[in-house]
């Protein structure tokens, strides 16, 4: 039962910057996270997402800027006074303590009464379904179990913010799917504000209320998963989140977009100059060119199938159109006879699905 | 497998060959004595002239740092000795004799034995004295301005924390106990050294170290310590080498002898040549040469006239009457008790 | 030989391979260590005659004499507690260095590690003489203390000198052993403790210290054994005032020629080592 999110601002980063030696890793970063929401920091490795998380936790100090939680400035607060629950990529369980004592550690540091420690740690372990392994040492647990202990240990202290640093990257694919659901469920049940660092777009989109896409220490886009996917702010975001076809194009002085050797329609406002045209493969419909060539308000491009890759639930067609190769993905169906290599085809997609960005030279 | 047997066979053959070679070259003798400056000087003064006079015999000098190690080597080689002649401290030679490691020694080995001072012939030891040494007072000439004439200088408060004494169980400490006992009016150290121990108790607060290293001569030469006790022969050699920094005095109260004996190892491989060498080592010429070189007093009474006055003055040879007669075999019986008294009564007072 | 070589190689079980691989070292150990120790044990039942001659008999005299003599009881007690105190001091001084080294990285770490190990490249004798020059009564340290108008204690040729010298000589061993034992200390685990609300002090006590205990135990065992058996430093720096098992063994074996007593004391040292090893494994068992 999801707790309704408030719009109340909870965690705020204000002009945060940090340099390691001569390298300015994060030039200046502003971000505001609402109470009870789960925000993903998404980006390639080295983009500064983990660094930002560690600054929130206090494990490293920003060179300048302010971090506030609920209006309280915590920028210079020592780590142990920040009240953050952190889950590490390696879980970082205390190897010399059993599961129970790992979970109780944070409570002991907070001088909670003995009875409460017993009760709350027990509840936390039940919550992650590990009550039966309470006496085990970390090394006697599987990766997924360790992950859940780490989660229970971070949640049991009822921190003001839960920080997750790539918590799923050490798990196998199946377990990862399971843990995604479990973490999201726990976060929503407790209504805790959470920051989730990941390089996996599926994790970010599927688990989080909002996603921060980062590159080179800057925020490229901050928005809901739908916004990020449907209306990527930059070509980088569009490329990084989901799969895309990238065509070289040009906008003429008359405002007409041309790519793959023919005029195209787009809903974006265009200024003249070279552009990148991005189209997601599954938003393109594929028809034999013998069919009706209705144009409508969308785009139609002629091409020839140059290769077909069968994936199972998907089939990928690589279509040669002018100078470009365009990948089209279709869900596999029985009713239609599959196209063959060398077939002439029409590619159709809507003007809404034509994402146009000024050519950034990359 | 056969290969292994074969190899074993070869090595056995090689081993017996080397034994045979040892037997055939009976004119090669091994002499074992102290390494360091003793070896240097003894080879120059005695071994080389011997080899010159006996071209068919070569002497290999095998140096070891102390008598105990020599005894250990003798023990280890008991079933097949590699050493023919040994020069070591008389007390250790007694132990070696008791364990049957030395062959009997009398005039049949060397006619010179008849000419030795009586102190050089010790009942119950199959070896005879080859050098006499005596305890002396050492001082640093920079730190000690007035040349001391008495052991009492060690007790002088102005040298507090500057006195270096090699304590018991080192026999320098044992000798010094007997000297102290005599100074304090003791008459028979075999009965009691109590008077001497009492005197040493008064010395204790002055002592810097009871364990001078690497020996007592270096720290006094370098000025780490001001005054101390040591053996005459080495002190004289180091004094020559120290640019006048190390002063050596035989105090007026007299001193006690340390005796190095020479012995023939039981079942020595080169017995006959070894006897020849022992005979030479005890001869007046060899004795005189070594005294001139290293200031050990000769044990052969006939050697003294052959030694230059300058050298003899730096040994105890001229003042034999001042020497306390120490029977080292008797002292061995009270050594544990002396050690115990030092440890319980003397050394604790210097902490 | 040739026929065997042509025959198809028989597969060896891992147990056999282990035995085969261990055989050479077992043999070397048996000849180089176990036999001499047995010989030593036998020697401790021999009788010494006045002057040092050894009588090959079987007597409990040495053992009983040792246990009845207060001097030797004190000697054993002193050796053990001085070695323990030196071990503890070495640990306290080495621990921060080892921790810092463990956390540093790159060329800086290499440089520091070389710096730590470099004393081992110099003989303990040379280093001991260095300490004598520094700590002697008119040396720089005592002079400096006097210049401050403070009463200067004698720092050389007594127990203090032995203490200082041995501590410095053992520190590289302790640091290396500690670092070897710091493997379990993951910086993330410390960070986890900090984010869970532990102050640096509590993080140290609750997490760092327990996780480094194996290293501490190893370092202490090593240094204790080295301290008990160290002979050169106490001999050079003790000024003949410090009586320890190792120096007494030397005196009995080399000076007094009482080999049976020296053997008895040596076996006693082995027993002390055995006790230390037992304590070490007990600590490890508790940690696991």
Query: The domain at A9-239 falls in which architecture?
Result: 3-Layer(aba) Sandwich (3.40)
Q: How many CB atoms lie within 10 A of CB B302?
A: 15
What is the pLDDT at residue A291? 63
The answer, yes or no, to whether residue B52 has pLDDT greater than 80, is yes
Q: What's the Rg (C-alpha) of chain B?
A: 22
Minimal CA–CA distance to B170: which of B326, B66, B272, B96? B66
For B237, how many CA atoms within 13 A lie in the half-sphere containing its CB? Answer: 19
Chain B residue numbers touching C127 (CB-CB < 8 A): none
Interchain CB contact of C217 with A (< 8 Å)? no
pLDDT tier for residue C8 given thresholds of 50, 70 and 90: low
What is the pLDDT at residue A60? 93
The answer, yes or no, to whether residue A3 has pLDDT greater than 60, is no
Cβ–Cβ of A90/C186 closer than 8 Å? yes
Task: Indicate if B122 and B189 belong to the same structural domain.
Answer: no
The answer, yes or no, to whether residue C9 has pLDDT greater than 90, is no
The answer, yes or no, to whether residue C184 has pLDDT greater than 80, is no
pLDDT digits (tens, 9 = 90+) for B210-265: 999 889 999 999 998 999 999 999 999 999 999 999 999 999 999 999 999 999 99
Instruction: Indicate the pairing of strand A72-73 with strand A84-87.
Output: unpaired
What is the pLDDT at residue A295? 60
Cβ–Cβ of C195/A79 closer than 8 Å? yes
The answer, yes or no, to whether residue A228 has pLDDT greater than 60, is yes
Let me know: does B149 contact B252? Beta carbons within 8 Å.
yes
Name the closest residue on chain B to residue C56, using Cα atoms.
B99
Cβ–Cβ of C71/B340 closer than 8 Å? yes
Q: How many CB atoms lie within 10 A of CB C190?
A: 20
Interchain CB contact of B3 with C (< 8 Å)? yes
CA–CA gap between residue B199 and residue B220 (Å, rounded): 23
**CATH assignment of the domain containing B160:** 3.40.190.10
SS3 track for chain A: CCCCCCCCEEEEEEEEEEEECCEEEEEEEEEEEECCCEEEEECCCCCCHHHHHHHHHCCCCCCEEEEEECCEECCCCCHHHCCEEEECCCCCCCCCCCHHHHHHHHHHHCCCCHHHHHHHHHHHHHHCCCHHHCCCCHHHCCHHHHHHHHHHHHHCCCCCEEEEECCCCCCCHHHHHHHHHHHHHHHHHHCCEEEEEECCHHHHHHHCCEEEEEECCEEEEEECHHHHHHCCCCHHHHHHCCCCEEEEEEECCCCCEEECCEEECCCCCCCCEEEEEEECHHHCEEEECCCCCCCCCCEEEEEEEEEEEECCCEEEEEEEECCEEEEEEEECCCCCCCCCCCCEEEEEECHHHCEEEECCCC
Nearest to C184 among A58, A84, A95 (CB): A95
What is the pLDDT at residue A296? 66
CB pairs under 8 A between B and C: 78
DSSP annotation of B158 reads G
Q: 3-state class of B325 per DSSP? A: coil
Task: Indicate if B341 and B313 belong to the same structural domain.
Answer: no
Let me know: does A33 contact A39? Beta carbons within 8 Å.
yes
Task: Indicate if B119 and B224 belong to the same structural domain.
Answer: no
Q: Which residues pair with B28 in a beta bridge?
A: B58
Minimal CA–CA distance to B218: which of C133, C207, A171, A117? C133
> Is the CA virtual torsion B153, B154, B158, B163 positive or negative?
positive
pLDDT digits (tens, 9 = 90+) for B114-154: 999 998 999 999 999 999 999 999 999 999 999 999 999 99
Count structural domains, chain B: 2
Name C4's Cβ contacts closer than 8 Å, sequence gap at least 6.
Answer: none
Name B192's Cβ contacts closer than 8 Å, sequence gap at least 6.
Answer: B186
- When the pLDDT of each residue in chain A is averaged and rounded to a whole number, the result is 89
- Touching pair B, A by Cβ (3+ pairs < 8 Å): no
Mean per-residue pLDDT, A297-324: 87
CA–CA gap between residue C172 and residue C182 (Å, rounded): 15
pLDDT digits (tens, 9 = 90+) for C116-174: 999 999 888 889 889 988 998 888 998 898 889 888 888 889 999 999 999 999 999 99
Q: What is the dihedral of CA B159, B160, B164, B166, to 10 degrees?
A: 130
The answer, yes or no, to whether residue C2 has pLDDT greater than 70, is no
Minimal CA–CA distance to B258: which of B190, B316, B144, B171? B171
CA–CA gap between residue B253 and residue B149 (Å, rounded): 9
pLDDT tier for residue B2 given thresholds of 50, 70 and 90: very low
> Is the CA virtual torsion C160, C162, C165, C167 positive or negative?
negative
Interchain CB contact of A83 with C (< 8 Å)? yes
The answer, yes or no, to whether residue B288 has pLDDT greater than 70, is yes
What is the pLDDT at residue B24? 45
What is the pLDDT at residue B27? 85
pLDDT digits (tens, 9 = 90+) for A15-63: 999 998 888 899 999 999 999 999 999 999 889 999 999 999 999 999 9
CA–CA gap between residue B94 and residue B102 (Å, rounded): 9
Chain A residue numbers touching C195 (CB-CB < 8 A): 57-59, 79-80, 82, 84-86, 163
The answer, yes or no, to whether residue B5 has pLDDT greater than 70, is no
Interchain CB contact of B334 with C (< 8 Å)? no
Nearest to C210 among A78, A93, A96 (CB): A96
Q: Cα B291 from chain centroid?
A: 14
The answer, yes or no, to whether residue B86 has pLDDT greater than 50, is yes
Name A346's Cβ contacts closer than 8 Å, sequence gap at least 6.
Answer: A286, A287, A288, A289, A291, A293, A300, A301, A302, A303
The answer, yes or no, to whether residue C277 has pLDDT greater than 60, is yes
Mutate which of A20, A51, A89, A94 to disrupt the C interface (most C C-beta within 10 Å)? A94
Phi-psi label, residue A92: left if phi above 0, alpha if psi -120 to 50, beta otherwise: left
pLDDT tier for residue C11 given thresholds of 50, 70 and 90: low
Domain range for B267 is: 2-132+258-317
Let me know: does C230 contact C246? Beta carbons within 8 Å.
yes
For B195, how many CA atoms within 13 A lie in the half-sphere containing its CB? Answer: 15
The answer, yes or no, to whether residue B13 has pLDDT greater than 80, is no
What is the pLDDT at residue B10? 45
ipTM of this complex: 0.84
pLDDT digits (tens, 9 = 90+) for C244-271: 999 999 999 888 889 999 999 999 999 9
Name the closest residue on chain B to residue C241, using Cα atoms.
B347
Q: Which residues pair with B45 in a beta bridge?
A: none
Tell me which CATH homologous superfamily contains domain C69-287: MetI-like (1.10.3720.10)
Chain C residue numbers touching B66 (CB-CB < 8 A): 254
Interchain CB contact of B209 with C (< 8 Å)? yes
Break chain A into its structural domains and give their ranges: 9-239, 247-358
Query: The domain at A247-358 falls in which architecture?
Result: Beta Barrel (2.40)
pLDDT tier for residue C10 given thresholds of 50, 70 and 90: low
pLDDT digits (tens, 9 = 90+) for C41-95: 999 999 988 777 888 899 999 999 888 988 899 999 999 999 999 999 999 999 9
SS3 track for chain C: CHHHHHCCCCCCCHHHHHHHHHHHHHHHHHHHHHHHHHHHHHHCCCEECCCCCEECCCCCHHHHHHHHCHHHHHHHHHHHHHHHHHHHHHHHHHHHHHHHHHHCCHHHHHHHHHHHHHHHHCCHHHHHHHHHHHHCCCCHHHHHHHHCCCCCCCCCCCHHHHHHHHHHHHHHHHHHHHHHHHHHCCHHHHHHHHHCCCCHHHHHHHHHHHHHHHHHHHHHHHHHHHHHHCCHHHHHHCCCCCCCHHHHHHHHHHHCCCHHHHHHHHHHHHHHHHHHHHHHHHHHHHHC
Q: 3-state class of B128 per DSSP? A: strand
pLDDT digits (tens, 9 = 90+) for C57-70: 999 999 998 889 88
pLDDT tier for residue C201 given thresholds of 50, 70 and 90: very high
Interchain CB contact of C142 with B (< 8 Å)? no
- Touching pair C, B by Cβ (3+ pairs < 8 Å): yes
Task: Indicate if B106 and B173 belong to the same structural domain.
Answer: no
Q: 3-state class of B58 per DSSP? A: strand
Let me know: does A90 contact A70? Beta carbons within 8 Å.
no
pLDDT digits (tens, 9 = 90+) for A70-113: 999 999 999 999 999 999 999 999 999 999 999 999 999 999 99
A125-184 residues touching C, CB cutoff 8 A: 153-154, 157, 163
Let me know: does C159 contact B348? Beta carbons within 8 Å.
no
**Chains contacting chain C through 3 or more C-beta pairs under 8 A:** A, B
Mutate which of C3, C52, C137 to disrupt the B interface (most B C-beta within 10 Å)? C52
Most confident of B272-286, B319-333, C60-74: B272-286
The answer, yes or no, to whether residue B12 has pLDDT greater than 80, is no
Task: Indicate if B191 and B244 belong to the same structural domain.
Answer: yes
Cβ–Cβ of C189/A57 closer than 8 Å? no
Chain B residue numbers touching C161 (CB-CB < 8 A): none
pLDDT digits (tens, 9 = 90+) for B96-119: 999 999 999 988 999 999 999 998
């Amino acid at each position: 039962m999801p707790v309704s999110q408030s719009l109340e601002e909870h965690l705020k980063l204000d002009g945060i910057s940090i340099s390691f030696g001569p390298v300015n890793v994060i030039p200046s970063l502003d971000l505001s996270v609402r109470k009870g929401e789960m925000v993903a920091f998404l980006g390639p490795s080295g983009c500064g997402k983990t660094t930002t998380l560690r600054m929130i936790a206090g494990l490293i100090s920003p060179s300048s800027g302010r971090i506030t939680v609920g209006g309280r400035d915590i920028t210079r607060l020592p780590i142990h006074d920040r009240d953050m629950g952190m889950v590490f990529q390696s879980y970082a369980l205390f190897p010399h303590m059993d599961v129970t004592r790992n979970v109780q550690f944070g409570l002991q540091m907070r001088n909670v009464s003995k009875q409460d420690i017993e009760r709350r740690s027990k509840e936390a372990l039940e919550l992650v379904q590990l009550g039966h392994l309470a006496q085990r040492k970390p090394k006697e647990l599987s990766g997924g179990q360790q992950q859940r202990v780490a989660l229970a240990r971070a949640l049991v202290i009822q921190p003001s913010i839960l920080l997750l640093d790539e918590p799923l990257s050490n798990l196998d694919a199946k377990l990862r799917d399971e843990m995604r659901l479990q973490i999201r469920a726990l976060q929503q049940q407790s209504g805790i504000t959470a920051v989730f660092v990941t390089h996996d777009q599926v994790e970010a989109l599927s688990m989080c209320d909002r996603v921060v896409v980062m590159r080179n220490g800057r925020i490229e886009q901050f928005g809901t998963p739908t916004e990020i996917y449907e209306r990527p702010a930059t070509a980088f975001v569009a490329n990084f989140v989901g799969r895309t076809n990238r065509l070289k194009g040009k906008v003429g002085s008359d405002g007409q977009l041309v790519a793959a050797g023919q005029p195209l329609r787009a809903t974006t406002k265009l200024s003249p100059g070279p552009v990148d045209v991005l189209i997601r493969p599954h938003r393109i419909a594929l028809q034999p060119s013998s069919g009706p060539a209705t144009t409508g308000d969308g785009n139609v491009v002629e091409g020839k199938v140059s290769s077909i890759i069968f994936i199972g639930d998907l089939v990928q067609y690589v279509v040669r159109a002018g100078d470009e190769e365009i990948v089209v993905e279709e869900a596999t169906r029985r009713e239609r006879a599959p196209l063959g290599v060398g077939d002439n085809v029409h590619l159709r997609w809507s003007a809404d699905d034509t994402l146009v960005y000024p050519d950034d030279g990359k | 497998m056969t290969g292994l047997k074969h190899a074993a066979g070869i090595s056995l053959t090689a081993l017996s060959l080397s034994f045979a070679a040892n037997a055939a070259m009976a004119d090669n003798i091994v002499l074992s004595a102290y390494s360091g400056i003793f070896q240097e000087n003894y080879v120059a003064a005695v071994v080389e002239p011997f080899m010159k006079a006996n071209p068919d015999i070569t002497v290999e000098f095998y140096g070891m740092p102390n008598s105990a190690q020599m005894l250990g080597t003798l023990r280890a080689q008991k079933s097949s000795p590699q050493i023919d002649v040994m020069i070591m401290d008389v007390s250790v030679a007694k132990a070696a004799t008791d364990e049957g490691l030395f062959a009997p020694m009398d005039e049949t080995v060397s006619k010179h034995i008849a000419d030795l001072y009586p102190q050089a012939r010790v009942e119950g030891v199959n070896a005879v004295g080859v050098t006499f040494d005596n305890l002396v007072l050492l001082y640093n000439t920079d730190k000690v301005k007035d040349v001391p004439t008495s052991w009492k200088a060690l007790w002088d408060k102005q040298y507090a924390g500057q006195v270096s004494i090699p304590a018991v169980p080192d026999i320098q400490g044992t000798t010094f106990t007997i000297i102290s006992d005599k100074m304090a009016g003791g008459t028979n150290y075999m009965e009691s050294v109590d008077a001497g121990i009492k005197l040493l108790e008064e010395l204790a607060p002055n002592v810097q170290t009871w364990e001078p290293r690497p020996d007592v001569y270096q720290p006094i030469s370098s000025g780490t310590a001001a005054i101390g006790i040591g053996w005459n022969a080495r002190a004289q050699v180091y004094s020559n080498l120290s640019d006048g920094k190390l002063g050596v005095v035989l105090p007026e109260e007299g001193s006690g002898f340390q005796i190095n004996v020479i012995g023939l190892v039981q079942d020595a491989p080169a017995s006959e040549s070894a006897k020849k060498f022992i005979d030479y080592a005890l001869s007046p010429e060899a004795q005189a040469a070594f005294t001139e070189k290293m200031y050990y007093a000769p044990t052969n009474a006939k050697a003294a006239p052959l030694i230059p006055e300058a050298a003899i003055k730096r040994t105890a040879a001229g003042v034999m009457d001042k020497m306390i007669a120490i029977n080292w075999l008797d002292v061995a019986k009270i050594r544990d008790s002396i050690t115990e008294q030092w440890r319980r009564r003397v050394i604790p007072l210097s902490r | 030989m040739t026929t065997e070589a042509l025959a198809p190689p028989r597969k060896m079980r891992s147990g056999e391979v282990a035995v085969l691989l261990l055989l050479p070292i077992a043999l070397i150990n048996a000849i180089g260590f176990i036999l001499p120790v047995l010989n030593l044990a036998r020697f401790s039942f021999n009788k010494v005659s006045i002057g040092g001659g050894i009588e090959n008999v079987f007597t409990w005299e040495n053992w009983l004499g040792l246990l009845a003599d207060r001097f030797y009881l004190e000697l054993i007690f002193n050796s053990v507690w001085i070695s323990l105190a030196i071990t503890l001091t070495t640990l306290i001084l080495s621990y921060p260095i080892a921790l810092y080294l463990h956390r540093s990285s790159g060329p800086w770490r290499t440089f520091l590690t070389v710096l730590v190990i470099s004393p081992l490249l110099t003989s303990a004798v040379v280093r001991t003489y260095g300490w004598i020059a520094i700590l002697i009564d008119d040396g720089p340290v005592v002079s400096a203390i006097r210049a401050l108008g403070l009463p200067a204690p004698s720092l050389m040729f007594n127990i203090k000198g032995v203490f200082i010298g041995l501590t410095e000589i053992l520190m590289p061993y302790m640091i290396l052993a500690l670092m070897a034992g710091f493997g379990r200390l993951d910086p993330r685990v410390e960070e986890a403790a900090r984010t869970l609300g532990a102050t640096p002090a509590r993080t140290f006590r609750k997490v760092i210290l327990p996780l480094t205990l194996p290293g501490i135990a190893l370092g202490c065992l090593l240094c204790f054994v080295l301290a008990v058996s160290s002979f050169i430093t106490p001999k050079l720096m003790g000024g003949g005032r410090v009586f320890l098992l190792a120096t007494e063994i030397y005196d009995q074996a080399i000076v007094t020629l009482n080999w049976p007593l020296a053997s008895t004391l040596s076996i006693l040292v082995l027993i002390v080592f055995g006790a230390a090893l037992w304590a070490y494994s007990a600590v490890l068992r508790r940690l696991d």
